[in-house]
Amino acid sequence: MGGTSAERDVSLASGIRIVDALRSRGHDVVAVDTAYGLLSRADEEALLAGGVVKTIPPDTQALVRLNAQLPATLRSFPPTDVLFLALHGGQGEDGTLQALLDLTGVPYTGSGHLASALAMDKDLSKHLFRAAGVPTPDWLMAPVAADEVRAGLGLPVVVKPSKQGSTVGLTVVKEAANLQRAIDEAFRFDDEVMIEQFIHGLELTVSILGDEALPVGEIIPKHEIYDYECKYTAGMADERFPAELSADETRTIQTLARKAFDALKLGGYARIDFRMAADGTFHCLEANTLPGMTQLSLIPQAARAAGIEFAALCERIVRLALERRESPSGAGGGRA
């Protein structure tokens, strides 16, 4: 957990909850901040008390050292151990760390390195969604002129880094005069920037756990979009599980979520985000391969609506990682 990405704070909050939950199920758990090292019990207690915090300053060279040391460290662990990845964004979620772990043979939670890289790249993801028959909003990639955006997508549009999460660097642009400023802001966080058609309608999310689609969630943020503040500040969003959809609508969006999951070759668990337009059509926005696990995060709420408490959810994710190791194909699906 932790790391050096723009989502470090959220990762620490997710990771410490997972540590606590797995210990409550009788597991021996070691907490590691990839930008700092092993966490002491005092570090853990500070994180548990603070929620999304910046208690431990990141060391940007730590990942370099970790890459050099990790294979030998992992080989020293008992063979039955699993690495639970609670990293968000950056090299923790984009397949870089997963590729390194594949070389060690140590099982880890979530998707493999290729699927992680595909899901992190929103441009590639959307091409694969469409190929699989999953609708997704139209988009363009920067650099692009305001006139081209207005003609091709209309206004408003969503400008965002192509390989980030938690709405970091994202702006809703309603006037063409503000487009370039939003693109420049997004380029602060990535080397590729997407300009995406804004879909007016309901914000919905579907979590996949193994081969099961969990109850659909509807998010009603205090802001215009479900941004970083709304995601991680209590009271800034009304999150309803299950969403108030008809049975047919629920089946449709869950089917689309499974198709998106399969199109990106995801494994273990993930969260697929959608918008439902006024005409009832669903539009897939993106897939999150290591979704947040904080007190306010969505997949724990979806699991709870399905009768799965947080500690049991964490344990099921661990079992899915073991199943992937035991599977001849290495695929991450299957019920735990």
Active site residues: 7, 166, 232, 271, 273, 286, 288, 292
Of 239, 166, 156, 230, which is closest to residue 200 (Cα–Cα)?
A: 156
Tokens of 125: 């993801």
The Cα 34–Cα 49 span in angstroms is: 21
Say whether 160 sits in a helix, a strand or coil: strand
Q: Strands (DSSP E) along 111-173, which ranges? A: 139-141, 157-161, 171-173
Q: Which long-range contacts (CB under 8 A, 24 or more apart) does 148-153 make?
A: 149/176, 149/179, 149/195, 150/176, 153/195, 153/196, 153/197
Q: Output b/e per residue, 277-287; b: 16+ Cβ within 10 A.
A: eeeeebbbbbb
CA 279 → CA 92, 196, 242, 248, distances in Å? 38, 19, 21, 14
DSSP output for 11-51: HHHHHHHHHHHHHHTT-----EETTTEEPPHHHHHHHHHHS
Q: Strands (DSSP E) along 198-333, which ranges? A: 201-209, 212-213, 217-221, 237-240, 269-277, 282-288
The β-bridge relationship of strands 217-221 and 212-213 is unpaired
